[in-house]
Amino acid sequence: MMNYNKINNLLGWLCAIVATLAYVVTAERTASWWDCGEFIASAYKMQIVHQPGAPLFLMIQNIFSNLAMGDKTQIAYWMNIGSAVSSGLTILFLFWSITVLGRKTFVRNADISTPLTQVQTIVVMGAGLVGALAYAFTDTFWFSAVESEVYAMSSLCTAVVFWAILKWEARADEPHADRWLIFIAYVMGLSIGVHLLNLLVIPAIALVIYFRRAKQVTTGGAFKAFMIGVVVLGFILWGVIQYLIKFAAFTDLFFVNTLGLSFGTGVTFFALLVLGGLVFGIWHSIKKVKPILNIALVSLGFIIFGYSSFAMITIRAKADPTLNNSDPDNVFTFLSYLNREQYGDEPLIKGKYFDAKPTDVFDAGNVYRKDKDRYVVARKKTKYSYDRETLFPRIYSDRGEHANFYRQYLNLGPEEKPTFADNLKFFFGYQIGHMYFRYFLWNFAGRQNDVQGHGSALEGNWISGIKPIDNTFVGGQSALPTSEKENPSRNTYFFLPLIIGFLGAYWHFGKNQRDAGVVLLLFFFTGLAIVLYLNQPPLQPRERDYAYAGSFYAFSIWIGMGVIAIWELLSKKVNAKSAAIGATALGVLACPVLLVSQNWDDHNRSEKSLSHDMALNYLESCAPNAILFSYGDNDTYPLWYLQEVEGIRTDVRVVNLSLLSSDWYMRQMMKKVNDADALPINIDPEKIKDGVRDVIYYYDYQIPGNLDLEDALNIMLSDDPANKMQTQSGESINVLPTKNLKLNVDKQAALANKAVPAMWQDSVVDSLTFTYPMGYVSRAELSVLSILANNNWKRPIYFTTTTPQQFYLGLDRYLVSEGFALRLVPVNTNVEDAEQGAIQFTESVYDKIMNKYKWGNIGNASYLDPDSYRYLTFFLSSIFGETAQNLLQQGKKKEAHDVVLNAYQNLPKKVYQMGEAMSYISLLDAMYQTGESAKAKEISLRYLKYIKEHMHYLSSNHLIKDVTSERNARLALVGLQRIKMIGDQYKDTDVQNATAELWKQYSYVFGEE
């Protein structure tokens, strides 16, 4: 027995070490895309991340940051290592869970005193090795293991909890065995401070407890236990996490508003009441010998104790750190923070169709705001009734392009009404098929590529590598383009992990139906149940497979069981020991070895740094003491990381426009941060607090000419009834009286503050006249307008190039490109639409290209993800190509040659997207003009080969009519025309011949004869 335990421990730790070393080697060396920059910056300085927060995760990552030994450039890497270690430990507990379940197939009721034979030990350890290491190198889990995100640590919590319930089960008859249940409760409480996914294990735990403790197991009893587990899950999700805080909030409301006591007294009273109630209940359960009540109350106490990590949120919010999302410094803002009210709710039981029209509006409660000495009602929550509603709503969103997507996906006409059948079609086809089973098959069958798509021929489908089967799903694999064959993210597993997993599940149900049912429940609740709960609308900004990692974890248990099933089959042909060794070897080769060999290249992020370098380029594009407006996560979070962690360009004030519509963020922008002064908003915070001027609507007052911006602001901010409009309900509201505005320019101030490049100083205009583009003014637009009115050109104002055009507020023709940011200048550039591209300040951009900008190693990295290579077209056209062309027009051929060589050296030597050709044209032209015709030819022929292979693939597989393929065909046509034009202009016969041949071959596709 001791020998078994030693082997079990040693091999478990071996799996953990192997996985951790792989993650350490492949971890990104800096902050990754999406939330990672925010998490790293917040963990480093103990700040507040986006709702609903992850305080325990931040505190643990802060510990890992100390391993950087003061080197700020290494802090992100060491936090990534924090995820690697968490993931490695997840593999450890998965191994031990598999061996426990495997052992139970030989020893009933997990009798730890019964030894296994040598063969049985080999088989069980083989199952643990194969299942644990298979999961270690699956696509989804590996992705989260090498970046500083919550999902690696959340997976560890899940693994620990599931392992712990198996430990309890094996020792349930021993004295004090229920301490394992207390441990589970505490880990679950702690996990709330990481992510809520861990709580989904509760129904499976309820079944384990029932099977172990029930004197007689029945179907009805199992169902009852399952329902108790669901109730406990709901109680923690809503009762503990939300309603404890909600009761505390309304207790504080009573103490402050009714009793006249200070803020927080009601919260303190309620906390003491809960604590006292728990203590009394536990004492009562001991005195009256009520063991079930005792374990329930003690567990609840430990859950709340673990949940107390969220105290960090309010404590740090009161300190007002730089990153203080939602500013949850009082109980009502904290409640809003926990409830994710910033993101809204998705309907689950009943809701509207996407084309439904509202018929009535209802009061849904109050939103309270903390004022000077009491809580006041800031605004009313509202709910709507609609003319067309349904149970189980799945096609409900009318935001953005969602309605168009629904119609396209469901083949609905422009005015056709969706039905409940359409609702179910979207649920099964898109939400389950595309947004879950596609991810499931990515991990255990294979993945076509990492392009985020919606089922088109060459966009992110599952594949296996077995052509006849894949043909039915993605239109065939004949004549696959070289770019697809050599794509690192193209991974084929030939269904082997999937087959072994299904074999293991089938065998497990045959051998131990109870345990298999527990694993199935874990699989369901961490997979399909999440699909049901999230009710995701289409067109997600990124792939969401990370949410289902727990489901893939459960399936990996069955991969381990598959080894035992194979052993049982082989043992009928050969001796048991040889069968055990053979089954293990087969499983290792078919799962971990295959997965690591296929997945290594596209999960190795050690060469990537574009997230870091893009943020650096944004900052280096700005003059000192600038104001930089950004919008999206991938613009903003890396900027926060660079400033808060590495301390780069802290003089630049980064302003996220999507957050600026919140009163808390607008207030924060009125304060100095690091080396950046407060924004010159100059609005009394009382005029824009929550519930006051949340939105100001446009109403045309027929004002002639352009209204002075200061006058427009005075009208919108006025409390004088004469400056307000009466609504039909009798409410007096502020309005924007005209969209035609002007900002007078103090020319001397503009020149003195160097707001205009020297070459344009004679072109300074008297005023900036513009037409406001939207029908409303939120706090974001109000803030920007106030900054314009009060800045008087003292601080340079920039927009990141990825900021949506509407946020330029109609000032497009006064924006000048300084590389990765557009600068507002008091000069009319005569560019009426941002789609034309802003005029470039070439001298400045040239200096930055040659001396300041960095390119994220994209020219040398063996793998680029879509979040990185989508920037290539911008690099090609707006940075390198436009700069080189402008330099040539200015007669600076040497400088243009420098830019051309810089581009060639730093850009990838491969094509990633069909649209790149149009972006390459200006750079190719500059290459020919500066004597680099060989390089221009190389790039042109490379792109023509890309077009040829893709068009051959699409046409030979009859995919031209596919929506995405049609778009690619159009892009190919335009690219071909542009390259032909360049080849003809410079009489490059190789390019001319290649374009002529391609045009002749596919003219029917391009619509030409």
Q: What pLDDT is recorded for position 132?
A: 97
- The tokens describing 372, both together, are 């000077």
Could you read off the pLDDT of 952-965 as tens digits, one per residue?
887 776 665 555 66
Half-sphere exposure of 126 (CA within 13 A, CB side): 28
Shared-domain flag, residues 906 and 923 = yes
Q: What pLDDT is recorded for position 958?
A: 65
Bridge partners, residue 822, by sequence: 799, 817
**How many Cβ atoms from other residues are within 10 Å of residue 486's Cβ?**
11
Q: Is 598 helix (H, G, I), strand (E, B) or coil?
A: helix
> What are the distances in angstroms from CA 340 to CA 49, 154, 197, 688?
12, 19, 16, 21
Contact between residue 904 and residue 860 where contact means Cβ atoms under 8 Å apart: no
Pairing of strands 815-817, 389-391: unpaired
Q: What pLDDT is recorded for position 228?
A: 95
Single out the residue in 345, 362, 377 at which a domain terminates.
345
Kindly state whether residue 668 falls inside one of the protein's structural domains. Answer: yes
Q: What pLDDT is recorded for position 59?
A: 97
Half-sphere exposure of 341 (CA within 13 A, CB side): 14
CA 665/CA 662 separation, integer angstroms: 5
Could you read off the pLDDT of 514-530 as tens digits, one per residue?
999 999 999 999 999 99
Give the contacts of 239 (CB within 8 A, at least 6 positions apart): none
Predicted confidence band of residue 472 (pLDDT cuts 50, 70, 90): very low
Predicted confidence band of residue 683 (pLDDT cuts 50, 70, 90): very high
**What is the mean pLDDT of the segment spanning 445-453?**
89
CA 141/CA 352 separation, integer angstroms: 36
CA 503/CA 497 separation, integer angstroms: 10
Q: Above pLDDT 90, what percent of the chain?
A: 77
Shared-domain flag, residues 888 and 992 = yes
Q: What is the DSSP letter of 644?
A: I
The dihedral built from the CA positions of residue 361, 362, 363 and 367, taken in this order, carries a sign that is negative
Shared-domain flag, residues 644 and 777 = yes
Give the contacts of 718 (CB within 8 A, at least 6 positions apart): 724, 734
Cα–Cα nearest to 980, from 952, 953, 1006, 954: 1006
Burial degree of 532 (CB within 10 A; 0-12, 13-18, 19+): middle
- The tokens describing 39, both together, are 């998490």
Shared-domain flag, residues 730 and 785 = yes
Highest mean predicted confidence (pLDDT) among 110-119, 168-177, 299-308, 345-354:
299-308
Could you read off the pLDDT of 11-25 as tens digits, one per residue?
999 999 999 999 999
Residue 419 above 90 pLDDT? yes
Shared-domain flag, residues 372 and 401 = yes
CA 517/CA 497 separation, integer angstroms: 20
CA 590/CA 568 separation, integer angstroms: 17
Q: What pLDDT is recorded for position 786?
A: 96
Q: What pLDDT is recorded for position 834?
A: 46
Cα–Cα nearest to 899, from 950, 857, 940, 845: 845
In 907-988, where does DSSP find H-type helix?
A: 916-929, 933-956, 963-985
What is the C-alpha end-to-end distance of the chain, expressed in Å?
Answer: 80
DSSP 624-647: TT-EEEE-SHHHHHHHHHIIIII-
Residue 847 above 80 pLDDT? yes
Could you read off the pLDDT of 387-412 as tens digits, one per residue?
999 999 999 999 889 999 999 999 99
**What is the mean pLDDT of the segment spanning 416-432?**
94
Contact between residue 814 and residue 830 where contact means Cβ atoms under 8 Å apart: no
Orientation angle between helical segments 150-170 and 75-104, nearest 10 degrees: 30
Shared-domain flag, residues 808 and 957 = no
Q: What pLDDT is recorded for position 46?
A: 96
Kindly state whether residue 488 falls inside one of the protein's structural domains. Answer: no
Kindly state whether residue 448 falls inside one of the protein's structural domains. Answer: no
Could you read off the pLDDT of 194-212 as tens digits, one per residue?
999 999 999 999 999 999 9
Could you read off the pLDDT of 78-98 as tens digits, one per residue?
999 999 999 999 999 999 999
Domain of 309 in residue numbering reads as 214-345
CA 17/CA 503 separation, integer angstroms: 28
Contact between residue 818 and residue 847 where contact means Cβ atoms under 8 Å apart: no
Give the contacts of 329 (CB within 8 A, at least 6 positions apart): 314, 317, 318, 320
Cα–Cα nearest to 130, from 582, 521, 568, 490: 582
Kindly report whether the peptide bond that precedes residue 358 is cis, defined as omega within 30 degrees of 0.
Answer: no
CA 672/CA 690 separation, integer angstroms: 22
By residue count, the chain amounts to: 1009
Residue 920 above 70 pLDDT? yes
- The tokens describing 782, both together, are 């109000």
Q: What pLDDT is recorded for position 473?
A: 43
CA 826/CA 865 separation, integer angstroms: 39
Residue 456 above 80 pLDDT? no
Contact between residue 87 and residue 20 where contact means Cβ atoms under 8 Å apart: yes
Shared-domain flag, residues 239 and 327 = yes
What's the total number of domains in the chain? 4
CA 94/CA 103 separation, integer angstroms: 14
Shared-domain flag, residues 328 and 370 = no
User: Which residue in the block uniquely carries the two structure tokens 């004469």?
Assistant: 722
Q: Which residue has the higher pLDDT, 970 or 994?
A: 994
Q: What pLDDT is recorded for position 916?
A: 82
> What are the distances in angstroms from CA 949 to CA 482, 970, 971, 1001?
7, 15, 14, 12
**Which DSSP helix (H) or strand (E) runs through 770?**
strand 767-771
Single out the residue in 841, 860, 887 at which a domain terminates.
841
Q: What pLDDT is recorded for position 961?
A: 58
Shared-domain flag, residues 311 and 406 = no
Burial degree of 893 (CB within 10 A; 0-12, 13-18, 19+): middle
Kindly state whether residue 194 falls inside one of the protein's structural domains. Answer: no
- The tokens describing 712, both together, are 């427009």
Q: What pLDDT is recorded for position 713?
A: 94
Least confident residue range of 196-210, 453-467, 817-831, 933-947: 453-467
Q: What are phi and psi of 768, to 5 degrees?
A: -95, 110
Kindly state whether residue 1007 falls inside one of the protein's structural domains. Answer: yes
Kindly state whether residue 880 falls inside one of the protein's structural domains. Answer: yes
Kindly state whether residue 600 falls inside one of the protein's structural domains. Answer: no
CA 479/CA 862 separation, integer angstroms: 23
Could you read off the pLDDT of 661-674 as tens digits, one per residue?
999 999 999 999 99
Contact between residue 871 and residue 608 where contact means Cβ atoms under 8 Å apart: no
**Which DSSP helix (H) or strand (E) runs through 713?**
helix 709-717
Q: What pLDDT is recorded for position 655?
A: 97
Predicted confidence band of residue 469 (pLDDT cuts 50, 70, 90): confident
The dihedral built from the CA positions of residue 984, 986, 987 and 989, taken in this order, carries a sign that is negative
Q: What pLDDT is recorded for position 1009?
A: 45
- The tokens describing 743, both together, are 């900002």
Shared-domain flag, residues 372 and 329 = no
Shared-domain flag, residues 337 and 401 = no
Could you read off the pLDDT of 265-287 as tens digits, one per residue?
999 999 999 999 999 999 999 99
Burial degree of 216 (CB within 10 A; 0-12, 13-18, 19+): exposed
Q: What pLDDT is recorded for position 962?
A: 59
Q: What pLDDT is recorded for position 974?
A: 83
Q: Which amino acid is at 734?
A: N
Kindly state whether residue 673 falls inside one of the protein's structural domains. Answer: yes
Burial degree of 625 (CB within 10 A; 0-12, 13-18, 19+): middle
Least confident residue range of 142-151, 377-386, 734-743, 772-781: 377-386
Q: What pLDDT is recorded for position 959?
A: 63
Contact between residue 763 and residue 828 where contact means Cβ atoms under 8 Å apart: yes
Shared-domain flag, residues 800 and 922 = no
Q: What pLDDT is recorded for position 954?
A: 76
Q: What pLDDT is recorded for position 955?
A: 76
Q: What pLDDT is recorded for position 112?
A: 65
Q: How remote is the C-alpha of 783 from its chain's centroid?
A: 27
Residue 833 above 60 pLDDT? no
Q: What pLDDT is recorded for position 21?
A: 97
CA 79/CA 83 separation, integer angstroms: 7
CA 628/CA 618 separation, integer angstroms: 9
Single out the residue in 363, 385, 412 at which a domain terminates.
412
Bridge partners, residue 768, by sequence: 743
What is the average pLDDT value for the chain, to the nearest integer?
91
DSSP 6-22: HHHHHHHHHHHHHHHHH
Residue 320 above 80 pLDDT? yes
